[in-house]
Amino acid sequence: MPTGGDQKLRWCGLRDRRLYPEDKKFLLEIEPKVTHYSLLGRFSTDQNAPMNDVLERVVMWRNLQIDGIDRCELRRTAEGYSFTGTVLGVLTDKRHPVETRYEIHCDDHWRTHRVQIDQVLGEESRSLSLSVEILERWRENGKEIPGLNECIDVDLGITPATNTLPIRRVGLEVGQRQHLTAAWVKFPELAVQPLKQTYVRLSNSTYRYEGASGFSADIVVDDLGLVVTYPGGWERLGSA
């Protein structure tokens, strides 16, 4: 039987998320002062809270970097939002076929909570599981990853789906810019590191992405913030 404090901290849609003792103490201290804590998502004391997901859009992109395709589903969930996708392609340097499956779970404010990646490259299989605890503590299989405390968004180098996260989360007006640092997952290594980025909203549907390396691209998105064209990276084949 959960205690009153445990019931206040019950996640709606985050049954497998762990709260560390110091996190729980912090949340219980602030609970009387706020009704929603955007770092983590939504709380519920209703043990029968609805958990139905709603499919918002399915997108198919051509991946120009690996001569492949990327099928992605964006869903509205009890937790907030989720992306589920599969990338199929061939690495141009080694001519190895690659299959990558990814899941990204966010709260109502598009802040990354959990990431799961499963990849098969040739005969080699590898996986990456990330979780984000309170105060932006990123963990891989429960072990904290140093250097990511400024990161709110995950950025998967193999899909344009994650460009939607800062675009929707920040909500720039035309002419505004935002500097941020993302937790960048490099492919095919599945290594995680911080990556400084800048987004500039050029028009209602166009954003300029600028990376710390000097790379930039003008990205066109749809009404949900999903990429339509990403010069040199991806182009949309269809959506529903």
- Dihedrals φ, ψ of 163, to 5°? -65, -25
Alpha-helix residue ranges (DSSP H) falling in 40-177 = 164-170
What's the whole-model pTM score?
0.79
Torsion angle in degrees (nearest 10) through CA of 105, 111, 115, 121: 110
The helix (run of H) or strand (run of E) holding residue 5 is: helix 4-8
8 Å CB contact between 72 and 161: yes
Q: Could you state, in order of their start, the residue ranges of all structural domains in the chain?
A: 54-239
Distance CA 7, CA 173 (A): 39
Beta bridge partners of 181: 196
Query: Mind listing the pLDDT tens digit of every residue in the chain (240 residues)?
Result: 444 444 333 333 333 344 444 444 444 444 443 333 333 333 333 344 455 799 999 999 999 989 899 999 999 999 999 999 999 999 877 678 999 999 999 999 999 999 999 999 988 999 999 999 988 899 998 899 999 999 999 999 999 999 999 999 999 999 999 999 999 999 999 999 999 999 999 999 999 999 988 899 999 999 999 999 999 999 999 999
How much of the chain is in helix, strand and coil states, percent to nearest 5? 15, 50, 40
Q: What is the pLDDT of residue 35?
A: 33
Q: What is the pLDDT of residue 96?
A: 87
Q: What is the pLDDT of residue 213?
A: 84
**Contacts of 25-28 spanning 24+ positions with Cβ under 8 A:** 26/134, 27/134
Q: What is the pLDDT of residue 51?
A: 57
Q: What is the pLDDT of residue 21?
A: 45
Buried b (16+ CB within 10 A) or exposed e, 188-205: bebebebbebebbbeeee
Q: What is the pLDDT of residue 134?
A: 84
Radius of gyration of the chain measured on its C-alpha atoms: 18
Q: What is the pLDDT of residue 94?
A: 67
Q: What is the pLDDT of residue 92?
A: 72
Q: What is the pLDDT of residue 135?
A: 82
Cis peptide preceding 146, ω within 30 of 0: no
Q: Which residue has the tokens 């209703």?
A: 46
